[in-house]
Structure 1
Amino acid sequence: MTARRLIAAVVIDGVECPATDVTVDQSSNQSPDTFSATLALNGLPPGRDAAYFSSADEIPCDVIVAVGMSGGLLFSGSADKVDVDFEAGNVKLSGRDKSKDLIESKATKTHKNKSSKEVVDEYAGEAGLEVDADEDAGKAGKQYRQEWNRVTDLSSKWSAIQHMADREGKHAFVQKNKLYYRNLDETDLGAVEVDYQGQSPFGHAEGNFIGLKVSRNLELAKTTKVRVRSYNSETEERHDETETLGGSGKERTYDYRHAGMTNGQAKKTAKKRLREHTRHERTADVTLPGNPDISPLMKLLITGTGTAWDQDYHIDRCGHRISGDKYDVHITAKNSSKGRGGAGGASGASESGGAAVGSQQMAQASYPREGA
């Protein structure tokens, strides 16, 4: 087999700089994606030397990785910290994605008669982000009225976006140059397939992974009920919504109270909270040979164990690690049991409409560096 060539670089304010070690942590929740990278001082192009790092006020950074014919952007944001080691001859950068600008900017407008999506579009545009959002959002100013002034007076733009997302049963997070504001179940781009073949009289156990660990929380496997209650002082209406997912054993109940919700918001929030609680029932930790196409927008599909862990999972985090000629990806994923309560598990990854990333695409864990 011909080894695939590995290239890793950080594009610093438009100039590509080769990197020796790179870490990118991607997330499908509200916490920002982060990166760290090590660059050789004697390998930096003109204009990106130690003098540049000593005085630059802002250091925009994009992390790009190529493996053979596959590759692309892993991270887009800016550096928060620079360390220069003249004895070791390297520069170390670390930073966050473009949600940083939203986290550090205060929300000050009331946005009357604007939809939630219009507010998200405005804030994202100010941070240089595109938006991928559902179109079923209501009027932010009308829906939140009294509380909106409190939210915007005390919060960052990112907190305001998270507040709206929570009220509408959505998830808001940033991936590369895009802000996602939608139902998390609708953002997958196919599946990462992990296949295990147990030991047999004809051979040892094997699989297309480096490491695979699974777990199950028996408490979260019980019947779970979420109740959301709200009083809307504008309409003088009380709303009480309950969502339940069947399971085993004694019922677990979670009770939430929120002010000023509409009936639709209460129902969406109950569904979101139920998903958040029950998805922790089954978890999977997988380490795979490096592939820059893998992201939290995909699902994880485990097969071949011959157990109830053979199902699909929602990817929570992806950690891309490159060191020298080694590149691997660590995935943390979770879900409730497939078919639980007559619903539970999501549809199989083969039906998700995206391309599967399987063993043929992830067979090589070590690559020759460019120029080696």
Structure 2
Amino acid sequence: MAEIELRNVEKHFGLVHVIKNVNLTVKDKEFVVFLGPSGCGKTTTLRAIAGLEEIDSGDILLDGKPIQNLRAADRDIAFVFQNYALYPHFTVYENLAFPLRAVGTSKDQIDSIVKSVGQSLGILHLLKSRPSSLSGGDMQRVAIGRALVRRPKALLLDEPIGSLDAKLRETMRLELKRLHLENGSTSIYVTHDQVEAMSLADRIVVMHDGMLQQVGTPTEVYLHPANLFVAQFIGSPVMNISATKVSEANGNAQIELDSARFDLPLDLLGMLEQKKAAADLSLGVRPEGVLVSHNDQPGYRPVVAHIIQPFGGFDIVDLKVGEKTLRARTTSGFIGKAGDRVWARIDPAQAHFFDTKSGASLDIRLGE
């Protein structure tokens, strides 16, 4: 397989700066997911690696060799599009065989490879069918199979299951994960769906406004977001973010959220001083980091349940804290109804602090 490296890659569309000094290494046999909102540059970056877009400056290397000046056909990289791009007048077999015939592969080899790939994708029984008779999931399997028959050095996938329904997307995620484990191909996958990214990726590349915001494992980007954008883009529901002030009171560090003050370990003050943190701070805490109790306990503050969203195994509850809302995750049915009074505190180990102006995480860890 192959290692892919991007060095100082830049790309403009007219006056629009689409890719801004991107530096990234995708390791051999790694599954990397580009994640970000529409228009962030992730698909353009993928197409540049494939040779479908020219870059303005920088280098794209495949196994250490620059390929930015090679034609797409000469890069030995396969690309799977969102819209399948199958030949409607060909059977499934002919669609799978086409890339092999184009490079002069023998008939016996074609037959062996097509059947092997068809078996791994579970579409052997469809080889005589035409695309018009296939379901969306089967068409996507054929599109992926057409890329795999070439045994490319790298496989690039541009939102390949984005148009499928939720149940089928779940099935295809498992199929893609299985195929990657079986084939060990170096893969880059583009999506705006964080569930796909979290479930598929060895590493996630979070992009925004043409720049890499953070590169890390799914656990790293979820538990330790590098900035406010990543903190609010990763996770569903999103992380609670609020401007805050920190002071000392009763042997604790107190953080202020509207009219309420929550206690955190006194160590926080020293950490903020060590980081030379500005006064303009933002607190971030995920819903599971907001601890809720039916009884008044040390460190807990009274709040009122506002909106309860049941999700089967758990509830997402909006808690009113003065004029602000703090979203918490509780066990199913833990709070009976909107308007109930409960008590809440913030888990120190799940509290994040950001410089509000720059958005950068202060990388403070409490309770670890």
TM-score greater than 0.5 by the shorter chain: no
TM-score (norm 1): 0.25
In our comparison, the structure showing a higher alpha carbon Rg is 2
TM-score (norm 2): 0.25
Structure showing greater relative contact order (alpha-carbon pairs closer than 8 Å, 6 or more residues apart): 1
More strand by share: 1
More helix by share: 2
